[in-house]
Structure 1
Amino acid sequence: MAMVSSRFVFLVSICILVSQAIAQPDFLYSFCLDDKGNYTSNSTYKTNLKQVLSSLSSNTEIDYGFYNFSYGKSPDKVYSLGLCRGDAKPDICRSCLNNATNLLPLLCPNQKEAIGWYDYCMLRYSFRDIFGIMEDSPSFYMWNPFNVSANYDQFSQDLRTLLDSQRGQAAKGGSLRKFAAGNATAPNFQTLYSLVQCTPDLSAQDCSDCLAGAMGYIPKCCDGKRGGRVIRPSCNFRFEVYHFYANASSPSLSPVPSVSPPASNNTPAAKGKESNKSRTVIVVVPIISFVVLIIISFCIYLRVRKPREKPQSESVDEISSVESLQLGFGTIKAATDDFSDANKLGEGGFGVVYKGKLSDGQVIAVKRLSKNSSQGDLEFKNEVLLLAKLQHRYLVRLLGFCLEGIERLLIYEFVPNGSLDNFIFDPIKCVQLDWARRYKIIGGIARGLLYLHEESRLRIIHRDLKASNILLDFEMNPKISDFGMARLFELDQSEGSTSKIVGTYGYMALEYAMHGQFSVKSDVFSFGVLVLEIISGRKNSSFQSGENIEDLLSYAWKNWKQGIVSNLVDPTLKAGLTTEIMRCIHIGLLCVQENVVDRPTMASVVLMLNSYSITLPIPSKPTFFMNSGTESNICLQLEHDSRVTESNPQSSSVKASINEVSITELSPR
């Protein structure tokens, strides 16, 4: 009993230290990367970790704020990296790193790889070589709680110009420091302050790319906000409308990690009339810490007294969570008037879609899946739970499901304006989509894909992005739908392959159509085709062009090379032809380049769409799918909407539906 009590006191003491450290005002966030491996308390790895952290925190010779040490021999060698904010004085830098080296091993007591951020420094360590390698995850972002009062578009443009300028300055920095800070005039006589920074072991190009990707998060994290920051392992930036760097005091921000929920989401402190909020935060944080401490201590005590039980399988927890999404078959049957033809919205490759109305008045879209599925109930529920966690303003939202006998139903939000192809390819309806709306649709699709590829807790490759799978809501905002052919990637997986080609010819990248190789760049290719269709109002299928029959990509490339891209623009937009349209054509051609490496990521696309200060590279020749006599042709010569599914590998024309949605094939490769 005495041994148990002493162990309990020791563990409670550790909890107190951790609680106090986390409560420090300049602590931001930490990640313990469990999937990278663990070490034991008496292992060589832990000994090496102590040695390398001690060397880092005790070094007084370095005064430029960047520390990189390694110690030991493989496989127990430890690499550590410390980076202080470029404006931090040496004493503040060393104090911050000392706190970090004490706190991070306590927060991550047995993980071989961890990373933690304070306001003035970052510390990370790993069993693998992390020096000179650009990494963009794990990451998180923070925002100022107050909105830009007026002239939002001008504020955003001024911010982009300032950050782009600083990105170039930081990238040109030497091996000791890659940092830039400064200010610019913003609307309403405000001054906009910002700083950007990379770890100085990066190349100039890697630094620039890292910051460009981070800035692509601005529309998601800080849209319309007076301040915000995005923090990645290899780079970070921050902006405010007050002077926050050079050791100036600043209000706290609300962190949101891109891979796991934040530990807290406190209302940010502010100045002036909002001083009461500041006092509230100061009072609440110790109370929360105390309550958390009591709970942790009690759990530790129970764990010490009682032998550890074998954990239940994760699927049990998932099923208990997913039950809250389940609706009765009778409820859906009544909502759709017994699946009457009058409520039928359309039919896709995986079932029929019906419009329904629940008893509370909510209008829904119900996908009644085909009854020949061999999927089990457990797998169906697990996939529904994963789909439900994909929540984004530019994705069609899953509301629930029904599983009863052989019936499998998916319930989605109803999107009233139908699919994009019903507008852009219709000679009458297309006039409803002026350039402002089309540009908004392009940007929304780009942000939705960026979320699937990089920002969600999963990495999803859609594999069937096309105009009929983009739905439009009341305000003509786009929503990506139909995940029936999507693939789930591991977070560190970059590409996959399959012998079963699925999707729609005309939107498929060459490497996928010919060899079954798919990646995020496959979706980028489809996005590029979609952009050109939105601008031109033409399908990417064979059409008469003068004396030739060619596809849209061939036609776009030919006109681009001849400098007459105005021929590509929908005639209804001619009156509003702007440099913005020309830039989007340029971006579309970059996305459909034949070489996978040459295509941009969606993070870069979002950045290019939102920043005119970025110089776009010259695109190379795209893949031509129709027989137009060019060297890069592959002669598929199929109809535009010839769709191939894994259950039906033969091409077949599929009628697009208003809410063509289906369950995701979430099988990691």
Structure 2
Amino acid sequence: MARMVVIKISSSFCFITMFSLVFTTNTTMSQPKYMFTFCNQLRDNFTSTALYESNRDTVLSNLRLRSSLASYSNATSGLNPNMVRGMFLCRGDISQTTCQDCVTTANLQIVRNCTSSDDEEAFIFYEECMVRYSDWSFFSVNEDRPYILRYAVTSAPDTVSFGLRLSEKMNELIGKVSNGSPTPYFVKDRERVIGFEGSYYMDSIVQCSPDLDQMNCTVCLRLAFQEMSGYCSQCQWAQIFTPKCLLRFETTSLGSPSIGSGSFNMKGKGIRGIVVPAVASLFVILIL
């Protein structure tokens, strides 16, 4: 099915589109759904050294090993100015095996995608997880850029009242996840909705990186929902993934299958992005 990808970026953003990508993975692994890679130069005088790359590889290796045990972890290797920090965050509704497969794939691909000697920071986003590394200490820091937003081109089952219901649901779940949920910083919800235009299920997820405190978790999620609402307040489904939190919702009309076609929106500043599209995709590039 054809899919439209919309990239909204600043004028300093350089994008690279790759229509083919070949890499070897274990065929027994589940294949995560790739979305985007951001490669970033933070300082004008930064040049990656062999020691920096070695520390990066150590961090990524440690993250891969830890992904078999948890849905979040961070790691550090080396001393300044070649110290590297890294983290991964998996969606809380996936299995530990799926999380490990996603992080393993992401660790291989992030190094292949960000090859410039100027790349001191990188993010790679899949639907199931996010992996990043950097030379600055981002632990416990709330960040709203870069983000990746994927959403349906089809409308929600009940367009009359859906926007208000979605806002109420997200506000409810953000309050729960920030004030002590059974699984730290993760809430999953399913609600059967009786709407003016038919009944449907609304499945929702809100999640924060555990290194955030409650206040920053709330801020992260509210900013993410604000961005999401600007593009898809009436969408059938959507997911936004930022460096420190994510929101996801999906509506399913009773008796109808879910639909998987959608659009993308990415936002970053001063970052190079790499898109690896699926076959039969349409790209619309908007430069601000």
TM-score with structure 2 length normalisation?
Answer: 0.76
Deviations 1:513-565 (A, max 9, x none): xxxxxxxxxxxxxxxxxxxxxxxxxxxxxxxxxxxxxxxxxxxxxxxxxxxxx
Residue 620 (structure 1) aligns with: none
Determine helix, strand or coil for the equivalent of 2:216: helix
Matches within 5 A, 1:51-450: 51-59=58-66, 63-110=69-116, 111-148=119-156, 150=158, 152-173=159-180, 177-186=184-193, 187=195, 188-242=198-252, 251-259=260-268, 284=280
Deviations 1:581-614 (A, max 9, x none): xxxxxxxxxxxxxxxxxxxxxxxxxxxxxxxxxx
Which sections of structure 1, spanning at least 5 residues, go unmatched?
A: 1-13, 19-23, 244-248, 267-280, 289-388, 392-455, 458-669
Q: Per-residue CA shift, 1:613-657, capped at 9, x if unaligned? A: xxxxxxxxxxxxxxxxxxxxxxxxxxxxxxxxxxxxxxxxxxxxx
Higher-Rg structure is 1
Supply the AA of the counterpart residue of 1:213.
L
Q: Secondary structure at the match of 1:217?
A: helix
In the TM superposition, what is the alpha-carbon distance from 1:240 to its structure 2 partner? Answer: 1.0
Structure 2 equivalent of residue 17 of structure 1: 23
Rounded Cα–Cα distance in structure 1 between residues aligned with 2:99 and 2:33: 12
* Structure 2 unmatched ranges of 5 or more: 1-19, 25-30
Gap change, CA 1:265 and 1:96, over 3 Å in 2 = closer
State the TM-score, normalizing by the size of structure 1.
0.34
Q: CA 1:89 to 1:149, structure 2 compared with 1: closer, same or farther past 3 Å?
A: closer
SS of the residue corresponding to residue 23 of structure 2 reads: helix
**Change over 3 Å in CA distance of 1:16–1:157 after alignment to 2:** same
Change in 2 beyond 3 A, CA 1:56/1:174: farther
| Structure 2 CA distance for partners of 1:36 and 1:27, relative to 1, 3 Å | farther
| CA deviation profile, 1:314-342 (whole Å, cap 9, x unmatched) | xxxxxxxxxxxxxxxxxxxxxxxxxxxxx
- Aligned counterparts of 1:78 and 1:175: Cα–Cα separation in 2: 32
The AA in structure 1 aligned to 2:35 is: L
The 5-angstrom pairing of residues 479-498 of structure 1 reads none
Asked if the contact 2:38/2:274 (under 8 Å) is kept, the reply is: no
1:127 Cα shift?
Answer: 0.1
Matched AA of 1:228:
A
State whether residues 221 and 228 of structure 1, in contact with CA within 8 Å, keep that contact through their aligned partners in structure 2. Answer: no
Change (3 A) 1:185 1:262: farther
Q: Identify which of structures 1 and 2 has the higher relative contact order when contacts are C-alpha pairs closer than 8 Å and 6+ apart.
A: 2
Let me know the Cα RMSD of the aligned residues.
3.2
More helix by share: 1
> How many pairs align?
250
Summarize the Cα distance change of 1:144–1:96 in structure 2 as closer, same or farther, 3 Å threshold: same
Q: How far apart are residue 184 of structure 1 and its match?
A: 2.2
Q: How does 1:436-585 map to 2 (within 5 A)?
A: 457=288
Instruction: For residue 131 of structure 1, report the CA deviation from its aligned partner.
Output: 0.7
User: 1 CA distance for matches of 2:155 and 2:76?
Assistant: 44
CA distance in 2, matches of 1:185, 1:36: 50
Cα 1:172–1:101 change in 2 (3 A) is same
Identity %: 24
1:88, 1:240 → 2: CA distance? Answer: 15
